[in-house]
Amino acid sequence: MSNYTVVLTGAGISTASGIPDFRGPQGLWKQVDPFDALSVNAFYRDPKKFYQFYFQMLKDFSKASPNKAHLAISKLEETGLIKMVITQNIDELHQRAGTKNICEIHGTSFKGFCLNCGRIKPLTPGELIPYCDNCGGLVRPQVVLFGDSMPDDYLLAEKEAAKADLILVVGSSLQVSPACYLPLRAKEIAIINLEPTPFDAQAVFLSHNKAELDLPQLLEFLNLEAK
C-alpha cells in the first residue's frame, strides 16, 4: 500500500498524441540526432537553423491533444492517489489534461527568455529567430537543452521521489541522465513502458504495454472515470 505515489513520465506517454519520442519504434532519433539538434552548442552555433527544427517541433506540440494516459493521470491526481507528476516532457500535455502538481524537469517549450535582460517571451512558430520585445536581445527556449545544467524543478523532483512509497514510470526509456536515477530514490518502482528499461529488474510492477491502454484499465479497476 502506497501512501505517497509520484509519477515520472517521458516522451512515450505522448506518442499516442502524435508526438514522436526519441528512442521508441517511431522515435525522432531515426530522423535527427537530438543530442545535436537540441543542444546548447547548436543554439549558439546557428540560432536560425536551431529554430527551424525547434519551431517545427513546437508546431507538432501545438496540434497535439492530451491522450487517455494523460487524462488518467490527471484523474488519479484529482482523487489524491497521485501526489506529484514529474515529467521529462516539454509539451505541456499534462497541464492541458488538468494535472496541477507538476515538476517540469526539462522545462517547457512554449516559452523563452532573453539572454540579455531575462524577460520571458511566449514562443510561437513563425519568426525566424525570436528577439526580445524589451531590449532586442536573443531569446532562447526555456527548455533544458543538452549541455545545460538542471533547473530548480529537478531539486523538487528529487525531494518528491525520495518521499515516495511508489514511483510509477510511464513512457520513459530511463536512459536520459540524471532523470533516470529518480526512481532509485523511491521505496518501490512500477514501470509501464513499451520496451525494456535498465530498471525493469527492480520494478514491483512491470508492463510493456501502451500507457494509453494500461492507465485507463487501472482507472476502470478503481471504478474511476477520466474527464
Active site residues: 106
Nearer to ligand NAD, 188 or 200 (CB): 200
| Nearest by Cα to 95 from 110, 115, 113 | 110
Strand order in the sheet with 120-122: 120-122, 107-114, 139-143
Least separation in angstroms between CB 86 and ligand NAD: 11
Q: How far apart are CA 176 and CA 173, in angstroms?
A: 8
Pattern of binders to ligand NAD over 19-58, x per CB under 6 A? Answer: x-xxxx--xx------------------------------
Binding string to ligand NAD for residues 89 to 128, with x set by CB under 6 A, is what? xxx--------------x----------------------
At its nearest, how many Å lie between ligand NAD and the CB of residue 133? 26
Phi-psi region of 28 (alpha: psi -120 to 50; beta: other; left: phi over 0): alpha
Taking 3-state DSSP, the helix, strand and coil percentages for the chain, each rounded to the nearest 5, stand at 35, 20, 40
The site for ligand NAD (CB under 6 A) is made up of 10-12, 14-16, 19, 21-24, 27-28, 88-91, 106, 171-173, 175-176, 192-195, 210-212
